[in-house]
Amino acid sequence: AQSVTQLGSHVSVSEGALVLLRCNYSSSVPPYLFWYVQYPNQGLQLLLKYTTGATLVKGINGFEAEFKKSETSFHLTKPSAHMSDAAEYFCAVSLGGGADGLTFGKGTHLIIQP
């Protein structure tokens, strides 16, 4: 069965600093991997996704993530944090095998300090 682990329920960085949100997954089949962001009182919005091909994936708002099969990781990064990045971030893996749902991690709350 697929699973996703997000290390750190809360991550705090200073404005302008590097953002690193960690995600490790387990999957019995080659995974599709996703990062979603949830701003307060809003729905989940796709940041980026990995399906096949290039392992470094660029998303919206300056975020990117790198798929590392050997480490079963898909960490999310942004070189310079902005106050507007404060939100909840969810890593997810597709169920695979033709199934149609996503397995989400517990989420990481990103706090940006001025």
Partner 1 sequence: EPEVTQTPSHQVTQMGQEVILRCVPISNHLYFYWYRQILGQKVEFLVSFYNNEISEKSEIFDDQFSVERPDGSNFTLKIRSTKLEDSAMYFCASSVVPLAGVAGELFFGEGSRLTVL
Range list of β-strands (E), 8-107: 10-14, 19-26, 33-38, 44-50, 56-58, 64-68, 73-78, 87-94, 102-104
Closer to partner 1 at the Cβ: 38 or 77? 38
Closer to partner 1 at the Cβ: 14 or 51? 51
Q: Rule CB under 8 A: which residues touch partner 1?
A: 32, 36, 41-46, 49, 51, 90, 92, 94-107
Closer to partner 1 at the Cβ: 18 or 29? 29
Question: Residues, the chain, total?
Answer: 114
Query: Could you tell me the smallest distance in angstroms from the CB atom of residue 5 to partner 1?
Result: 10
